[in-house]
Structure 1
Amino acid sequence: MTQRIFTSYEEFWPYYVAMHSRAATRWIHLTGTLTGLALSTYGLVSGRRRFLAALPVIGYGTAWPAHFLIEGNNPATFGHPAWSLRGDARMIRMMLAGRDRELAEIAAAWRAEHS
Protein backbone atom coordinates (compact mmCIF):
# COMPACT_ATOMS: atom_id res chain seq x y z
CA MET A 1 0.00 0.00 0.00
CA THR A 2 1.15 3.52 -0.68
CA GLN A 3 1.70 6.07 2.06
CA ARG A 4 -1.56 7.80 2.95
CA ILE A 5 -1.98 11.33 4.23
CA PHE A 6 -4.43 12.02 7.04
CA THR A 7 -5.54 15.32 8.49
CA SER A 8 -6.66 14.00 11.89
CA TYR A 9 -6.33 11.03 14.19
CA GLU A 10 -10.04 10.23 13.78
CA GLU A 11 -9.49 9.99 10.02
CA PHE A 12 -6.42 7.82 10.63
CA TRP A 13 -8.11 5.43 13.11
CA PRO A 14 -10.11 3.28 10.63
CA TYR A 15 -7.03 2.98 8.42
CA TYR A 16 -4.96 1.92 11.42
CA VAL A 17 -7.51 -0.76 12.30
CA ALA A 18 -7.60 -1.93 8.67
CA MET A 19 -3.83 -2.42 8.81
CA HIS A 20 -4.62 -4.84 11.68
CA SER A 21 -7.47 -6.61 9.90
CA ARG A 22 -6.52 -10.12 11.00
CA ALA A 23 -7.19 -11.18 14.57
CA ALA A 24 -3.76 -12.82 14.82
CA THR A 25 -2.07 -9.49 14.15
CA ARG A 26 -4.13 -7.74 16.81
CA TRP A 27 -3.47 -10.47 19.39
CA ILE A 28 0.25 -10.46 18.69
CA HIS A 29 0.23 -6.69 19.22
CA LEU A 30 -1.64 -7.08 22.48
CA THR A 31 0.65 -9.84 23.75
CA GLY A 32 3.86 -8.04 22.81
CA THR A 33 2.71 -4.71 24.23
CA LEU A 34 1.48 -6.14 27.52
CA THR A 35 4.60 -8.31 27.93
CA GLY A 36 6.86 -5.35 27.22
CA LEU A 37 4.84 -3.15 29.57
CA ALA A 38 5.03 -5.73 32.37
CA LEU A 39 8.80 -6.10 31.99
CA SER A 40 9.33 -2.34 31.80
CA THR A 41 7.23 -1.88 34.93
CA TYR A 42 9.30 -4.55 36.64
CA GLY A 43 12.45 -2.70 35.65
CA LEU A 44 11.08 0.56 37.01
CA VAL A 45 9.96 -0.95 40.32
CA SER A 46 13.03 -3.14 40.87
CA GLY A 47 15.58 -0.58 39.74
CA ARG A 48 16.80 -2.86 36.96
CA ARG A 49 16.99 -0.19 34.29
CA ARG A 50 17.85 -2.57 31.45
CA PHE A 51 14.26 -3.84 31.59
CA LEU A 52 12.93 -0.37 30.74
CA ALA A 53 13.73 -1.04 27.07
CA ALA A 54 11.41 -4.06 27.05
CA LEU A 55 8.31 -2.12 26.00
CA PRO A 56 9.64 -0.79 22.70
CA VAL A 57 11.87 -3.79 21.98
CA ILE A 58 9.29 -6.50 22.69
CA GLY A 59 6.30 -4.40 21.62
CA TYR A 60 7.67 -3.49 18.21
CA GLY A 61 9.74 -6.66 17.95
CA THR A 62 6.58 -8.75 17.92
CA ALA A 63 4.25 -6.32 16.14
CA TRP A 64 6.32 -5.48 13.09
CA PRO A 65 6.91 -9.07 11.95
CA ALA A 66 3.16 -9.66 12.27
CA HIS A 67 2.57 -6.92 9.70
CA PHE A 68 5.06 -8.38 7.25
CA LEU A 69 4.19 -12.06 7.76
CA ILE A 70 0.46 -12.04 8.58
CA GLU A 71 -1.00 -8.84 7.11
CA GLY A 72 1.43 -8.43 4.22
CA ASN A 73 1.71 -4.69 4.87
CA ASN A 74 4.05 -2.19 6.46
CA PRO A 75 3.40 -1.04 10.02
CA ALA A 76 1.52 2.26 10.20
CA THR A 77 4.23 3.33 12.66
CA PHE A 78 6.58 3.92 9.75
CA GLY A 79 4.48 6.81 8.42
CA HIS A 80 2.49 7.90 11.46
CA PRO A 81 4.40 7.07 14.67
CA ALA A 82 2.46 9.20 17.17
CA TRP A 83 -0.97 8.28 15.85
CA SER A 84 0.07 4.62 15.66
CA LEU A 85 1.08 4.61 19.30
CA ARG A 86 -2.28 6.15 20.18
CA GLY A 87 -3.98 3.60 17.92
CA ASP A 88 -2.16 0.73 19.64
CA ALA A 89 -3.42 1.90 23.02
CA ARG A 90 -6.98 2.32 21.76
CA MET A 91 -6.98 -1.05 19.98
CA ILE A 92 -5.64 -2.85 23.05
CA ARG A 93 -8.18 -1.17 25.34
CA MET A 94 -10.97 -2.29 23.01
CA MET A 95 -9.62 -5.85 22.91
CA LEU A 96 -9.34 -6.02 26.69
CA ALA A 97 -12.94 -4.77 26.87
CA GLY A 98 -14.07 -7.68 24.65
CA ARG A 99 -14.58 -5.54 21.54
CA ASP A 100 -12.28 -7.36 19.11
CA ARG A 101 -15.22 -8.14 16.82
CA GLU A 102 -15.91 -4.42 16.52
CA LEU A 103 -12.32 -3.90 15.40
CA ALA A 104 -12.77 -6.56 12.71
CA GLU A 105 -15.90 -4.75 11.50
CA ILE A 106 -14.10 -1.37 11.35
CA ALA A 107 -11.29 -2.99 9.36
CA ALA A 108 -13.69 -4.68 6.94
CA ALA A 109 -15.64 -1.47 6.38
CA TRP A 110 -12.50 0.55 5.68
CA ARG A 111 -11.14 -2.09 3.31
CA ALA A 112 -14.46 -2.32 1.43
CA GLU A 113 -14.53 1.43 0.99
CA HIS A 114 -10.88 1.71 -0.10
CA SER A 115 -10.37 -1.41 -2.22
Structure 2
Amino acid sequence: MAGFTSFREFYPFYLGEHRDRRCRRMHFAGSTLVLLIVLLALLSGRLAWLWLLPVVGYGFAWIGHFAYEKNRPATFRHPLYSLMGDWVMYWQMLRGKVRF
Protein backbone atom coordinates (compact mmCIF):
# COMPACT_ATOMS: atom_id res chain seq x y z
CA MET A 1 0.00 0.00 0.00
CA ALA A 2 1.30 3.44 -0.84
CA GLY A 3 2.11 5.85 1.94
CA PHE A 4 0.09 8.95 2.61
CA THR A 5 1.67 12.38 2.59
CA SER A 6 -1.05 14.10 4.61
CA PHE A 7 -4.07 13.41 6.77
CA ARG A 8 -6.25 14.99 4.09
CA GLU A 9 -5.01 12.31 1.68
CA PHE A 10 -5.43 9.55 4.28
CA TYR A 11 -8.96 10.34 5.50
CA PRO A 12 -10.89 9.12 2.41
CA PHE A 13 -9.00 5.83 2.70
CA TYR A 14 -9.88 5.72 6.41
CA LEU A 15 -13.58 6.22 5.70
CA GLY A 16 -13.40 3.46 3.09
CA GLU A 17 -12.16 1.12 5.81
CA HIS A 18 -15.32 1.91 7.80
CA ARG A 19 -18.11 1.17 5.33
CA ASP A 20 -20.05 -1.10 7.66
CA ARG A 21 -22.37 0.89 9.88
CA ARG A 22 -21.90 -1.57 12.76
CA CYS A 23 -18.16 -0.96 12.69
CA ARG A 24 -18.71 2.80 12.85
CA ARG A 25 -21.09 2.26 15.76
CA MET A 26 -18.45 0.25 17.59
CA HIS A 27 -15.97 3.09 17.04
CA PHE A 28 -18.52 5.60 18.29
CA ALA A 29 -19.26 3.55 21.41
CA GLY A 30 -15.57 3.09 22.20
CA SER A 31 -14.77 6.77 21.67
CA THR A 32 -17.71 7.84 23.83
CA LEU A 33 -16.55 5.52 26.60
CA VAL A 34 -13.02 6.92 26.30
CA LEU A 35 -14.38 10.43 26.85
CA LEU A 36 -16.46 9.26 29.83
CA ILE A 37 -13.50 7.47 31.42
CA VAL A 38 -11.33 10.60 31.06
CA LEU A 39 -14.07 12.71 32.62
CA LEU A 40 -14.68 10.29 35.48
CA ALA A 41 -10.95 9.85 36.16
CA LEU A 42 -10.43 13.61 36.31
CA LEU A 43 -13.51 14.30 38.43
CA SER A 44 -12.82 11.47 40.88
CA GLY A 45 -9.07 11.98 40.99
CA ARG A 46 -8.58 8.30 40.19
CA LEU A 47 -6.15 8.76 37.33
CA ALA A 48 -5.28 5.06 37.43
CA TRP A 49 -8.49 4.52 35.44
CA LEU A 50 -6.77 6.10 32.46
CA TRP A 51 -5.04 2.79 31.70
CA LEU A 52 -8.46 1.69 30.40
CA LEU A 53 -8.36 4.21 27.54
CA PRO A 54 -6.47 2.11 24.97
CA VAL A 55 -8.27 -1.06 26.03
CA VAL A 56 -11.71 0.47 25.56
CA GLY A 57 -10.91 2.66 22.58
CA TYR A 58 -9.02 0.10 20.55
CA GLY A 59 -11.05 -2.83 21.86
CA PHE A 60 -14.35 -1.58 20.51
CA ALA A 61 -12.79 -0.41 17.23
CA TRP A 62 -10.95 -3.67 16.61
CA ILE A 63 -14.04 -5.75 17.34
CA GLY A 64 -15.83 -3.63 14.74
CA HIS A 65 -13.12 -4.31 12.19
CA PHE A 66 -12.68 -8.02 12.81
CA ALA A 67 -16.38 -8.86 13.35
CA TYR A 68 -18.05 -6.59 10.79
CA GLU A 69 -15.62 -5.02 8.33
CA LYS A 70 -13.47 -8.16 8.04
CA ASN A 71 -10.35 -6.02 7.59
CA ARG A 72 -7.25 -5.03 9.52
CA PRO A 73 -7.58 -1.76 11.42
CA ALA A 74 -5.64 1.12 9.86
CA THR A 75 -3.99 1.55 13.26
CA PHE A 76 -1.59 -1.24 12.40
CA ARG A 77 -0.19 0.61 9.38
CA HIS A 78 -0.94 4.27 10.11
CA PRO A 79 -1.26 4.72 13.89
CA LEU A 80 -1.23 8.52 14.12
CA TYR A 81 -3.46 9.17 11.11
CA SER A 82 -5.79 6.43 12.29
CA LEU A 83 -6.14 7.99 15.74
CA MET A 84 -6.83 11.34 14.12
CA GLY A 85 -9.35 9.68 11.80
CA ASP A 86 -11.17 8.14 14.76
CA TRP A 87 -11.83 11.56 16.27
CA VAL A 88 -12.65 13.29 12.99
CA MET A 89 -15.14 10.51 12.16
CA TYR A 90 -16.57 10.72 15.71
CA TRP A 91 -17.12 14.47 15.33
CA GLN A 92 -18.64 13.99 11.89
CA MET A 93 -21.01 11.34 13.26
CA LEU A 94 -22.12 13.75 15.99
CA ARG A 95 -22.76 16.41 13.37
CA GLY A 96 -24.59 14.03 11.02
CA LYS A 97 -21.96 14.13 8.26
CA VAL A 98 -21.17 10.42 8.66
CA ARG A 99 -24.03 8.02 9.32
CA PHE A 100 -23.99 5.68 12.31
Residues 1:40 and 2:38 aligned together: yes
Aligned residues: 100
2:28 matched to 1:68? no
Is the 8 Å Cα contact of residues 26 and 63 (structure 2) preserved in structure 1?
no
Identity %: 44
Cα distance in structure 1, aligned partners of 2:84 and 2:98: 17
CA distance in 2, matches of 1:63, 1:17: 13
Mean CA deviation greater in 84-93 or 46-55: 46-55
How far 1:69 moved relative to its partner? 1.2
The residue type paired with residue 94 of structure 2 is L
TM-score (norm: length of structure 1): 0.80
2:23 aligned with 1:25: yes
SS state at 1:100 partner: coil
For structure 2, which runs of at least 5 residues remain unmatched after alignment? none
Q: Is the 8 A contact 1:40 1:53 kept in 2?
A: no
TM-fit CA distance, 1:59: 0.8
Between the aligned partners of 1:41 and 1:55, the Cα distance in structure 2 is 11
Match of 1:90 in 2: 88
Give the secondary structure class of the aligned counterpart of 2:41: helix
Structure 2 match to 1:110? none
Q: Is the 8 A contact 2:30 2:58 kept in 1?
A: yes
> Which consecutive residues of structure 1, in runs of 5 or more, have no partner in the other structure?
104-115
Higher alpha-carbon Rg: 1
